[in-house]
Every structure is written in C-alpha cells, then in structure tokens.
Chain A
Amino acid sequence: MLSHDNFNEEKLSKMLSEMPKIQDNQDKDKLYEKISNKINGDDQQDAFRTKQKFPWAIPSIASIAVVILLIVIFQDAFPNRQYSNSDSASEQSTSSSDKALENSDMAPFAAEKNDSFDAGKRDESDGMTENEMSMLTKDIGFSSYIIYDSNPNVSIIPVAAMDENIQYVVPLTLVDNTNPDADPANFYNQLDAFINEEELGVVVFPFGKIAFQLELGENKVLLTIPDGYQMEEGSAIGGMFKQVLATMFTPYGITKAVVDPDNSRNESFGMYGNIDSLPLDKPKNQSFKLYRGTKANQALLIPSLPNQFNTMEEALEDMKQNQPDFLLEATIDSDVDLEIKVKAQGVTISSSSSKVANNQETATMIEAILLTAKSFGYTSVTFDFPVEQVGAYQLNKSIQVPAGPNPIQLH
C-alpha cells in the first residue's frame, strides 16, 4: 500500500508535469496520405451526390416550368381578378397578416434543416441569393450584427445570455466553421465556455450542471437537472429561465422543456410550480435595439422580450426610443419616417428621409428591421430608400431575414 498522505498540490503538480511524453509512431507522409485521401474522398462524394441529384432535378425543373406557365395563362385569362387581389393585398394591415404568416417559421439552425424554410427561400426568386447574403457579413464595410445560414460547412447554433441588469434576453449565434455537423448539445451543455461575458457585457444564465438533450422528433428539449440544483426562486434570474430557453430552442421548432424523469431527482421547475414540463413560446412581434454593456467591447442587437407589439409599425416606432437606463440605444433615427406595406411573405419599408444614407447608422437600422420583421413572421424585406446601396446591402432587391443575431465566431 502506498502512502499518499503527502499528496499536496505542489507534489501533484510536479508529478503531472513529469508525465511521460507520448510519441506518435505514425509516419508523417502516411498520415498526410490518409488525411488527403479523406479530404479528396469527401470531395468526390460531394461530386457524386451532385450527380445523383440530376435524375430528379430535371423533372422538377420541368414541373416548375409547367406551374409558371399555368400561372401566366391564369393571369392572362383573369386580368381583373388579379388586379383586385393585388389591390386588396396592398391594403392589408400588418396585424391582419400575422395569422397568414404563422407558418413561415424561423430558420432552424445547425444540422437540422427545415425543408419548408428552404423552399420559402427559393420562392424569393427576385431577392438576394444566399451566397450574396453570406458575402454581406464579410464585405458590408460597416459593423454587422446578423448572420445568414448559407454555408453548408458551418454550424450555426442559437444561444442566449442576459444583459448585465438581468432585464433582457440577449440572443447570440455561435458560428462553428470547423464542423458542419456539430452537435448543438455540446454547446448548450457548456455555454459559459463559448460566451465571453466580459467582452460582450452579458451574463450567462447559471444553468450549472443542467444537461440539455434536444429531441427534435418530439419537439422538446430534455433537461437533466442534477441533484441539489436550486433555481433562485423569485429572483430576476429565475424569471429569465423560460425566456432564455425559448430563445435558444424555439428556432428548432421545440415547443416545450421537459425534466428528464429518469435522470433528475428534482423533478420540477421550482418557481414555475411543481411541474415537469414547461411550454416554450417562440418570441414574437419584437423590436430590436442596440444594447451596449457598460464595459463591453461591442454592441449587440437585442429584442424587447418579453414586450410584444401588436403591429410592426408600433415595433418600429419603439425602435426610435433610447433607453439609457437599460443601456439600450435606438436603432432608427427619430427623424426618419417609415412607411410599411405588407405583401404575402415580405414587407416593404419606404422612407424618403435624407438621414437614410450609406452609413453605419442605416446599416444597423436595416439589420434591426430585418430581425424585427423576422419576429413578425416575414421572410424578406424590401427597402424603398433614397439610396440604392448601404454597405453591401443592395436595396434594389428584397433582402431575406437572417438566421440569427449577434454572431460569435468560435475559431
């Protein structure tokens, strides 16, 4: 029997630092060959997959052509009816359109792609393409606060923190460009490892050792709550629990958080009562403003959660108000008058104000409006402004709503 009574920290540290060096016995060239084969193999597989798509792609294109032809014939045959529809559409109010737009869900991120969302994107044939969108984040020329899910080699994970006063949820988007199939649970189970609280001026929710497991098939997130975990009842932080979960998980289509009964001893959500399931409502009808923590290096676009607005006009009006007590800055200049027209999937925002120009303020306004429009269920926004270009945003085309706000590059 050894005696380890003298295993003090110093001795332990010394022993650890004297652990043997483990050599790799592989030949460098052979290792490169394996890696190279895998990379090239993947490329070939991709090419093969592309080739495999052609047999059904051609009939699909033919079908689309037939549909377009039918639409053209239909329009020619009933010109008056078409005019009437378009007329009534332009008179639609923002609020009345909400119901019709309920199906245009937020983009699910990461590995689970939603076909209906992709189809929605393709419908916007006269809008900017996803590739054009992805260029925006690189070439905008101004600070950007949004990200598009356009690169198949990148994983995008919606996460959330709180502002330093624990008043608002701060949505963030983790961007892992090294792993297209990253398991989102990896990120949720150690959020504080990926969110730099000091730099962003945010507070990560103290989930402790609560483990998350996404069960997308059943639209739920399973929470394993460790023995002894205490939710701070009645505190500001406790009240944010549901909102933080909703911001992180509803983009996947998740509708409830469920305590895993097999692995949790504390089978309830504490302050929410003795329940083992918590409904998660998708944050809707928000306004987005700039939040800047007192010691933060950068600003973030955050929603008005839990405040909701009845119409987009009201939300845009709110975005003109500074709230210095809450470290929130307006994202729309109070002198800028905006007019809103609603179409089936998108919305048109018009302004003739001379303050709308090719500058940072307008770029931020555009991004805040895109996020706001997304929260109202729209998939694209057309900006009818006196300038044609703001940063890399070409305003002569409709612009799709982004995948998420406040991207954080992980590498």
Chain B
Amino acid sequence: MRAAFDELYENYHKDLFQFVFYMVKDRQQTEDIIQEVYIKVINAYDTFKGESSEKTWLFSIARHVTIDFFRKQQRKRNRIIDFFDWGENGHFIKDEADLPDEVAVMNEEMRLVYQCLDHCSIDQKSVIILRYIQSFSIQETAETLGWTISKVKTTQHRALKTLKRMLADHDRGEGTNVESR
C-alpha cells in the first residue's frame, strides 16, 4: 500500500491538491477530499484496468469525490436555508473562505478572476482548472471528465463566456456579490 501511495504522491500530488483546491477553495476541505481520493484510489488500485492513463483515472476519481462533497454541502445548505427561511436570496449566501496567501498577494484583476470562478458551473470550473491552471491537453481533459472532445471545447467556451460576463457585470457595478467576498 505504501509503495502505491508513494508512487501516486510523487507523480501527481501537487497537481491533485491544486485541482481540488481550486474546485473547493478551502484548504481544510481540500485536505479532507484528498485523503478520501487516496483511500478510494488505493482501494481500487488493483482493479485499475489501464484503459485510461493513471493520471486521468486519478483525476476523474478526484472529480467524483469533489462532486460528492458539493452535493453533501448543498444538502446541508438547503437544510439551513429551510430552517431559517432566508428566502429567494438564500443561495447567494456563501462560505466566507479567506483568500489563500498565494492569491491575496496578486493584483486586483487576478483576485477578481479567482473569485468569479465560483460563478461557473461545476463542469465549467472543472474544465477551466484542468485546461488552464493544470495545463491539461483537450484530450486529457476529455478523458478525465469522460466527455467527448467537442463537449470539452463547448464547455470551455461557455466557461470563458461566463467569466467575461461576470467581470463585465462587476465593471458596471453589478458585482456586489463578487466584491462582498
């Protein structure tokens, strides 16, 4: 088990941590998810069929674990909203996670782009992180997400469009939600 962990850690840990972190934007939650990913991967290591690369296999598991995490978080949030009856704007209430040091030191435009990522769907966010932040090829991204190449391209295009719209809204002073974070 240790040998499998060492190999995965050496080859992919930095990228894996980065991917999950940009998905959830919280260091503690990232650490928890990463542990879960390793447990699943190590448990399933013997059954890995090698039809995709080890890297895309690992990241597809990381993505599924992260989506599970979002769903659990959404359920909790729904319960809280139901309880306090925050009404229609309840879904705008977001976790006030601090900016990580690495982002906090960057210029305002970069911080804004970082914050606007939250307005992308999970699929759009996955593509943006894999393609731009992780520098995955379109082929690798398609394998990781289990999509066709054309779907990756379409989602990437829509994600950039969403980001552009959010930045434009902010520019027009409509981005109070973005600025409040």
Contacts and interface: CB of A to CB of B under 8 A. Distances in A.
A78 interface: no
Interface in A173-228: 176-179, 182-183, 185-186, 190, 192-194, 196-198
Nearest to B15: A21
A182 B68 CA distance: 8
Contacts of A39: 1, 39, 42-43
A115 interface: no
Interface in A215-253: none
Interface in B16-37: 17-18, 21-22, 27, 30-31, 34-35
A4 B170 contact: yes
B167 A4 contact: yes
Contacts of B86: none
What's the interface size class on B, roughly? 35 or more
Contacts of B38: 31, 35
A297 interface: no
A61 interface: no
Interface residues of A, number: 48
Given A16-B128, A23-B17, A194-B146, 4 more contacts: A4-B167, A24-B34, A193-B123, A411-B47
A80 interface: no
Interface in A2-30: 2-5, 7, 9, 12-13, 15-26, 28
Contact of B43 (A9, A153, A192, A194): A153
Given A9-B164, A24-B17, A193 B103 contact: no
Contacts of A73: none
Contacts of A190: 123
B7 interface: no
Contacts of A186: 64, 67-68, 71
A38 interface: yes
Given A183-B68, A186-B71, A19 B109 contact: no
A410 B164 contact: no
A77 B81 CA distance: 67
A190 B9 CA distance: 30
B39 A21 contact: no
A21 B103 CA distance: 9
A179 B132 contact: no
B25 to A, nearest CB: 10
Contacts of B153: none
Interface centre among A24, A179, A410 (most CB of B within 10 A): A24
Contacts of B14: 21, 23-24
Contact of A21 (B18, B67, B114): B18
Contacts of B42: 35, 39
Nearest to B104: A20
A95 B13 CA distance: 59
B40 to A, nearest CB: 4
Contacts of A36: 1-2
B168 interface: yes
A2 B109 contact: yes
A249 B170 CA distance: 43
Contact of B106 (A9, A20, A26, A192): A20
Interface centre among A5, A12, A178, A186 (most CB of B within 10 A): A178
Nearest to A194: B146
B138 interface: no
A271 B84 CA distance: 39
B60 A32 contact: no
Interface string B54-74: 000100110011011001000
Nearest to B132: A16
Contacts of A1: 171, 173
Interface centre among B44, B135, B168 (most CB of A within 10 A): B44
B164 A178 contact: no
